[in-house]
Every structure is written in C-alpha cells, then in structure tokens.
Structure 1
Amino acid sequence: MKPIFEYTDYREWLRDAFDDFKQRKTVISWRYMAMKMGADPGNLLRVSQGKIHLSTGLIQPAADFFELDEKETAYWTEMVYFGRAKTDAEALQHYERMQALKGVSLKLLAKKELEFYRHWYYNAIRSIIGICKFKDDYEGLAECCTPQITVEEAKSAVQLLHELNMISTDRDGFWKVNDTFVSTGGNWRSAAVRQFQKDTIALAGESLERHAPHLRDISTVTMTFNMDDIQLIREKINEFRSDLLRLSQDGSGDNTVFQLNIQLFPLAFVKPLQEKKK
C-alpha cells in the first residue's frame, strides 16, 4: 500500500487501508472496524462507498485503529476536512496544510503573480514542458498550442513561468517543471481566476468547430434536482475530477495537454405555475 501522503481522497485511503489491514493482520469486516471505532457499521461502509462523509468525531478513532503516527494522523485529519470542505477557501486551507505536511512547497501568488491566470496558454505551456523536452524552439512551442499562439507569447509565457519558479533548466539547458503547487491564497476566488475560467470555457465552445469529434468529448444534458442535493452532486464532480488528476499524475508517455471544464449551473428556478384560466 502506498504511503498516506500520496492520497488526497480520504475515502480512497480508507478503502486501501482496510484492505491492507485485512491482509497484514487478520480477516476483519467493516462491522468489526466500526465496533472498535465506536461507529455505526452501515454508516462506515457508506463512507467507504462515497455516499456520506465520515463524521469528524471518528477521525481520531480511525487514526488509532490504523495505528497512524503523529504526522500521519495530522495528514489524515486534514484530508478528511479537505474532502468535507464546502467552499473553495475552506478546501484550499486544508489542501495547503496537507502539502505542508508532505513537505511540498506551495507557492502563494502575489497580486503581480496573478498574471499566471491572465492567459490560458501559460498553464498549457507549463504542462507541455512537463511532458516533452524543450530548450529554445519557441516556434515549435507556439505551434503545439491549440489555438496556436505567437512566438512572442510563447517566450513571454516561459519567462513568466521561470520568474514564478514554476519551471527551471536542467544541466543540459532543457526546461523542466518544478514540483511547486500554485494557489491564489486568500484570493482564491479572484477576478483573475474567474477570467481564466471564462477563457477556458470559451475555448471549450470553440473546440466544437476547431477539433474533430474523436479529439473531444463535449456533451450536454439537462436535468432536474432538489436543491438540497446540490452539495452531493458537487462532491461527485470533485471525486470524478480527482480520479482524472490521479490518472494524469500516474500516467507515462503523455503527449497531449487537455483542459477539462465541468460545467454545472441552474437554467431555471421553478416556482408554482398559475393555471391558465379558460
């Protein structure tokens, strides 16, 4: 089983830890574990299935059951709160603490550095550099982007990424991506980030004409829900996004940079309709 610090989804870790414990110790069940933790067996199983969240009162009992040390317990605690977060600001706060416990640097962007979110291709070029060898072929780098950018834009992007310490050169002069997580700190919902999101959403619309169907997956569906279920839906979207991020991080031989936009928004708030009088 991989170390707990390689997880960001507490439910995934809980399932893996349960399976690992069962192999190392003895044959156990969710009911046995729930009894040791003072939890409801049915609820604990539903937590592992992603149907409900783990109660905060069970964070420490779970840590004790799996014999986590002090640092692992601290990470486990932040991971649960990260999974339970209801706002971006709250999620970021716990995510930052998780990264700090892992010993990974988390670069907080100052106002000047929010330039990173000003153009969509900054992030794209950072991803390109992460999967291919690039030294000074700015024309080729510009041509990689879709839509294609100018050579000057490619150069300015590389310069900015370097200034932010997001990329650096190796001994042979090739650019490489630094292991630096970037957030906007307290300005998580800044105008710059919203503009970045608007730009990538616009690119998704343009992709309908720019790219062949087999290169994209853009679909629409109109659904009805009870507003009380929206938080659950957001959690499902977050889990789906996390699964794809793990797939991206675990993959090898990557040769394409994709942008994923998941768009969920209300089209109408239904009120009781008056019956037309005949």
Structure 2
Amino acid sequence: MKPITEYNDYRAYMRDFYEERKRVSYFTWRQFASLAGFVSPTYLKLVCEGKSRLSKPGIAKVARAMGLEGFDYTYFGLLVKFESAKDAAEKEAILRELEREARLIKVRVVDADAFRYYENPACPIVRELAPIMPKADPGEIAAHIRNKTTMLDVREVLQFLVKAGFLLKTGKGTYEQTEKSVKGSKEAIPLAIRSMNREMAKLGVQAIDTDGIEERNYSGVTMGIDEVAYARIVEEINACRKKVIDIARECQNINQVYRLNLQLFPLTDKVSTRGKKKETSNE
C-alpha cells in the first residue's frame, strides 16, 4: 500500500486500507467499523462511498484503527479537514498547515509541494534565474531579484526545487530545469494558483512605481460585454498566452526573468440590458 502522503483524498486511503486488509486476511466493513469503535457496521463503507463524513472524533478513531501515528496521523486529519472546509480561505489555511508540517519532518507531499511552489513567487523566479546564472551563489541570485528576496530565501528555495524535482543540480552552483510539471489534487491546484496570482499581482503593482516604462508594458481597457463576448475574449487571451510561451521558448540568450499577468475581471454586477450599445474606454 502506498504511503499516506501520496494520497490527496482520505476516502481513497481508507478504501485502499480496507482492500489491503481484505487481501491478506478475512476483513469486512463490520470489522473495520468495530475496530474503529463505531456501532454501525456500514458507517465506514458509507464514508468511503462519499455518502457520509467523518466527524472530528471519528478522525481519531479511524486513524488509530488504521495504525496511523505521528505525521501520518496529522496528515490524515488534515485531509479530512480539507475535504470538509467550507470555503477557499479555509482550504488555503489547511494547505499552508500541511506544507509547514511536511517541511518540519522533511517529507514529500504532493499537494504541499504544489502549494509551496505556487504560493511563493520566489519559486518560479529562482527556477528561471538559477539556470542562467551558473556557479552563482544564493546571495548573487537574491541580488538579481527585485522583490526583496534574501540569500537565505534563495538557498531554501533552491533546496526545495531540487528536492521536488523542478530543478536538477548538475554541479556546484549549476542547475538545469526539468520537464516536471507541478502536480496536485484537482482542489489544491486551483487554490495554489489563486495564491500565486494574488502574489504576482502585488509585484505587478510594485513595478508601476519601481520600473521604468522602457522595461514594462501596461495597458488596459474598460468595456461592456455579455457572456458570449466574455467567452470569445477568454479564448483570444488563451491563444495569445500560448503564442507568448512559444516566443519565450525560442529565446536563445535569456538574461532576465519576466512575469506576464493577463487579467480580465468584472468591475460591476450584471445589469439588465435594453439594447443600448456600450462604448469602450481605452486606458
């Protein structure tokens, strides 16, 4: 059976535990429930089928029944809390706690790795910068990053990127990017990306005051649209982003790391339209 840290769904772990016990010995859902101290013989089966949820006391009972201790016990509890979280903010808080716990005991957790990579702007920046600065020490790399990143920050990020497989260390102070993509659960990845977009947007605001217009390109348009127009615009933005990525991949003499933020968001609530054509305002 896989280590619990390779799971991002506590129900899947419970099902695999049950199937593994059943494979090596006579084991039923009734026995599983009894082992955990539940009266209902079908309760845990219903939980695994998504028809019921574990209560807070139930988390401890089931974890102990499966022999989970230490970080594994904590991890199982956090998986249950994540699934039961009421909103995105609560889910983000649980992911941060999971990432902190994983770092303390130096274990790999898929969702924790993804959240850490996306939450910290230094991760993608250093991933791009380190390969083009061979034999540079963390202090030199930090000096090239404009958003107050310290030598210790860079050192820690480099260690994380290598351990997580996002960078390959080829020699002292030399790195290569890997083809590894950032993976996580279908719930964690959107939350992590939202966190990154928030942090990168802050850097974009700072750049208005710190960077000259010869180094940055800002433009925008305020416009009235409907759902159909919105869908068409999103399609065009996605196509543009892919073209930009292709141009970046063709670059042979990389000497700087940039961030492109593509933002399209509502400024008002919806109103009933009366056939009047609205004008756009360039900025």
Tell me the distance in 1 between the aligned counterparts of 2:156 and 2:172: 22
Counterpart in the other structure of 2:220? 220
User: Is 1:137 paired with 2:132?
Assistant: no
Q: CA deviation at 1:215?
A: 0.7
Q: Summarize the Cα distance change of 1:197–1:222 in structure 2 as closer, same or farther, 3 Å threshold.
A: same
The residue type equivalent to 1:127 in the other structure is E
Q: CA deviation at 1:166?
A: 1.0
Tell me the distance in 2 between the aligned counterparts of 1:155 and 1:220: 37
Counterpart in the other structure of 2:230? 230
Q: Summarize the Cα distance change of 1:112–1:271 in structure 2 as closer, same or farther, 3 Å threshold.
A: closer
CA contact (8 A) 2:111 2:183 kept: no
Tell me the distance in 1 between the aligned counterparts of 2:155 and 2:137: 10
Query: Percent of aligned positions with the same letter in both sequences?
Result: 19
Tell me the distance in 1 between the aligned counterparts of 2:172 and 2:189: 39
User: Is 1:208 paired with 2:237?
Assistant: no
CA contact (8 A) 2:183 2:189 kept: no
Superposed CA deviations along residues 41-79 of structure 1, whole A, max 9, x for unmatched, are xxxxxxxxxxxxxxxxxxxxxxxxxxxxxxxxxxxxxxx
Q: CA deviation at 1:204?
A: 0.5
Tell me the distance in 2 between the aligned counterparts of 1:137 and 1:273: 59
Q: Summarize the Cα distance change of 1:231–1:191 in structure 2 as closer, same or farther, 3 Å threshold.
A: same
Superposed CA deviations along residues 218-257 of structure 1, whole A, max 9, x for unmatched, are 1221012222221111110000000000000111101111
Q: CA deviation at 1:148?
A: 3.1
Q: CA RMSD in A?
A: 2.3
Deviates more, 1:133-142 or 1:120-129: 133-142
Q: CA deviation at 1:196?
A: 1.0
Tell me the distance in 1 between the aligned counterparts of 2:130 and 2:201: 23
User: Is 1:146 paired with 2:146?
Assistant: yes
Tell me the distance in 2 between the aligned counterparts of 1:201 and 1:145: 16
- Give the 3-state SS of the residue equivalent to 1:182 in structure 2: coil
- Give the 3-state SS of the residue equivalent to 1:111 in structure 2: helix
TM-score (norm 1): 0.55
Tell me the distance in 2 between the aligned counterparts of 1:262 and 1:191: 18
Deviates more, 1:135-144 or 1:256-265: 135-144
Q: Summarize the Cα distance change of 1:268–1:140 in structure 2 as closer, same or farther, 3 Å threshold.
A: same
Counterpart in the other structure of 2:119? 118
The residue type equivalent to 2:259 in the other structure is Q
Superposed CA deviations along residues 177-218 of structure 1, whole A, max 9, x for unmatched, are 112222434236532221111000111111100111111111
Counterpart in the other structure of 1:128? 129
Pairs within 5 Å for 1:13-52: none
In the alignment of these two chains, the number of paired residues is 166
Unaligned runs of 5+ in 1: 1-107
Tell me the distance in 2 between the aligned counterparts of 1:146 and 1:126: 15
Tell me the distance in 2 between the aligned counterparts of 1:170 and 1:272: 60
The residue type equivalent to 1:198 in the other structure is R
The residue type equivalent to 1:161 in the other structure is L
Counterpart in the other structure of 1:31? none
Pairs within 5 Å for 1:23-172: 110-113=110-113, 114-130=115-131, 132-170=132-170
The residue type equivalent to 1:121 in the other structure is A
Q: CA deviation at 1:173?
A: 5.6
- Give the 3-state SS of the residue equivalent to 1:244 in structure 2: helix
TM-score (norm 2): 0.54
Tell me the distance in 2 between the aligned counterparts of 1:258 and 1:183: 23
Q: CA deviation at 1:171?
A: 5.1
Counterpart in the other structure of 1:89? none
